[in-house]
Amino acid sequence: MNQQPGPIRVLRDRQAAFFGQIDRADRQVPVASARRLVSIYDGGAMPSQPNRVFLSHPAELDGSESEGSSASADVNTSATIPVLVLQGVPQVGDLLVATAVGGRWVAERPAVDGTTICVIACYPAVSVYGAVVTLLNGTTTVASGTTGSTGCIKFPIAGTYIVQVQINGTLVYSSSRTLAPGGTTTIAVSGTSGLVCCGGYAIPQQLTLTDAAGTLQFNYYPNYYYPIWYGGHSVNLLSCSVTTPNNVCVAAAPSQGPVRVCYQMTCIAGTQPVFSIQRSWSWVYQQGTLNAIWYQDSTGFLLGQPCATSPPAPCGNPHTDTSSFSANPSSTSPFTLSGNPVAAAGNATADPVAGSIVISA
């Protein structure tokens, strides 16, 4: 005759099975994913967005075994590991922890509140447009960009880097700076920056002037009390050349030829407007008459040197006509100035170019 197990035995069997499951769970080995430290580098097609594959080198942390000492990265540049970065955009030299997931290496770079760098010059301070700012980690370029009209540029990173500033291709600043996340770092460049400070303006030494006849380089000339910029070009017009046999001025018959047009911009602090711009050209008396005609001058222009045009001394005092105007820049960053020169009342000839001009950085 079969007997049913008592309730105490049933409870004892269930308890034994429960403890057996606990013992078996303790003996199971947890599954772990492989991880490794990597250093990001630019292989030539580095992405600028997250959720992309970035190239990296395997890295290890090294340093002295003492409390408070900092670690240094030992990067194996002979090996390359493609890493899928899911969050944030890493920069060259960033150290990330990559995890092996589904046959590939995956990492995250938390978004960093970037830092802003502003470049100023002169006193009172003027924002510098077009300055190239570069952040270096040692000799490796981490980020680079050009300041806008406010003189500032924001980088999506923060930390301690060597900050370099170039203006017109010249390195004017290089120093280690700690750039705070979300902060603004202002860099004041000196008078060797390729800028001329006058009347509260930071004026590039190299400018461009555009008139109805074309575009020319307009360069600073430092040998005057007031800052002066010079430039010039030629226009082809009916004009007269001259010769001086036996020290006598002889005008040739009129012909089509080059007429030199010279420009000069002077900055005079304390005046309003600050800048005075002049266009000048020369004339002679037409052969056999007392009628003035443009002087035909085929000599060249020396970049950055004073532009002057006048007939030879035997032809009398320099016969120079001018058109001029005064103005302040319509935009200080970048430097832009424009106007319409007005011909002087005593001119003997018409303006060979006429029309407005634009001077810009």
Please write the tens of the pLDDT for every residue from 62-104: 877 777 777 788 899 999 999 999 877 787 888 899 999 888 9
At 285, the amino acid letter reads: Y
- Condensed to tens digits (0 to 9), the pLDDT of residues 102-144 reads 889 999 877 667 899 999 988 778 888 888 999 998 888 888 9
Sign of torsion over alpha carbons 329, 330, 333, 334: negative
Residue whose pair of structure tokens reads 């035997």 in the numeric block: 314
In angstroms, the Cα distances linking 302 to 125, 262, 294, 313, 361 are 33, 12, 21, 21, 20
Peptide linkage before 334 cis (omega within 30 of 0): yes
Stated as kind and residue range, the H or E segment containing 267 is strand 255-267
- Please, which pLDDT band fits residue 200 given cuts at 50, 70 and 90? confident
For the chain, percent of residues with pLDDT exceeding 70: 91
Distance of CA 172 to the CA centre of its chain: 13
Q: How many CA atoms lie within 13 A of 351 on its CB side?
A: 20
Residue with tokens 């910029």: 229
User: Residue 8: what pLDDT?
Assistant: 72
DSSP 93-133: T-EEEEEEETTEEEE-------EEEEEEETTTTEE-TT-EE
What separation in angstroms does the CA of 238 have from each of 258, 282, 294? Answer: 9, 13, 7
HSE-CB of 98 using CA atoms within 13 angstroms: 28
pLDDT band at 29 (very low <50, low <70, confident <90, very high): low
pLDDT of residue 235: 95
- Cβ contacts of residue 71 below 8 Å, gap of 6+? 61, 62, 63
**Residues 321, 238: Cα–Cα separation, whole Å:** 16
Q: Report residue 100 CA to chain centroid gap.
A: 41
Q: Enter the tokens of residue 176.
A: 């280690």
- Identity of residue 96: L
| Average pLDDT score, the chain | 86
Which secondary structure element, helix H or strand E, spans residue 19, and what is its range? Answer: helix 7-26
Residue 322: pLDDT band by 50, 70, 90 thresholds?
very high
pTM above 0.75, yes or no: no
Domain ranges of the chain: 35-62+74-107, 115-193, 198-360
Kindly report the number of other CB atoms within 10 A of residue 151's CB atom. Answer: 23
pLDDT in tens, 221-262: 887 788 999 999 999 999 999 999 998 999 999 999 999 999
Identity of residue 125: A
Single-letter amino acid code for the residue at 287? Q
Evaluate if residue 275 carries a pLDDT over 80.
yes
Which residue did the predictor score with more confidence, 49 or 329? 329
Confidence of residue 6 (pLDDT cuts 50, 70, 90): low
Percent of the chain with pLDDT over 90: 46
Residue 57: partners with Cβ closer than 8 Å, 6 or more residues away = 38, 39, 41, 75, 76, 77, 79, 80, 81
Rg value, the chain, Cα = 37
pLDDT in tens, 331-342: 776 789 999 999
* The pLDDT value given to residue 112: 64
Whether 22 shows a pLDDT value over 70: the answer reads no
Average pLDDT, stretch 162-176? 89
- Which two structure tokens, joined as six digits, stand for 317? 């005092």
Q: Could you tell me if 240 and 287 are in contact, meaning their C-beta atoms sit under 8 angstroms apart? A: yes
Do residues 321 and 283 make contact, with C-beta atoms less than 8 angstroms apart?
yes
* pLDDT value at residue 18: 67
Q: Which fold has domain 115-193?
A: Immunoglobulin-like (2.60.40)
Q: What is the pLDDT of residue 81?
A: 93
